[in-house]
Amino acid sequence: MNENNTINRQTFATLKDNMEDMLPLLIEAFLEDGCTLLQEIEKGINTLDVGVISTATHTMKSSAKNIGAERLAEYCLQIEESLREQQNSLDQNHLHILHKLACAEMTNVKTLLSIETC
């Protein structure tokens, strides 16, 4: 696995030990759900719908943590914190930047997880 916190080796190894044959299905579900959640976050940012952004970001953060995708979870946390800090006036550009970083990290996660399941 990668050394730059894209995937936490210990978390993933524990998951692999516990899930055994079910791991490929878990990874597939994470990747599918992750793409959908990132699309929801983008829609929420575009429409400034705090509820959509918050729900999708929180779900993505939890899923990423569970699979060991630490940096992706961190970007989601930053989006959540931005929402709290900007309650009265959302900085749409800042949220778009964080979303783009999360999407780029999701691409890294996909690459590493596909290597791991081959």
pLDDT tens digits, 85-117: 887 788 999 999 999 999 999 999 999 988 765
In terms of residue numbers, what domain contains 100?
A: 9-117
| Residue 113 domain flag | yes
Q: Report yes or no on 96 lying in a domain.
A: yes
In a domain, 81, yes or no: yes
**How many CB atoms sit inside 10 A of residue 79's CB?**
24
User: pLDDT (tens digit, 9 = 90+) per residue, 65-78?
Assistant: 999 999 999 999 99
Q: Residue 4 domain-assigned?
A: no
Asked, for residue 74, whether it belongs to a domain, the answer is yes
1 in any annotated domain: no
pTM of the model: 0.89
Question: Residue 99 is encoded by which pair of tokens?
Answer: 């979303």
Residue 1 has pLDDT above 70, yes or no: no
Q: Is residue 2 part of a domain?
A: no
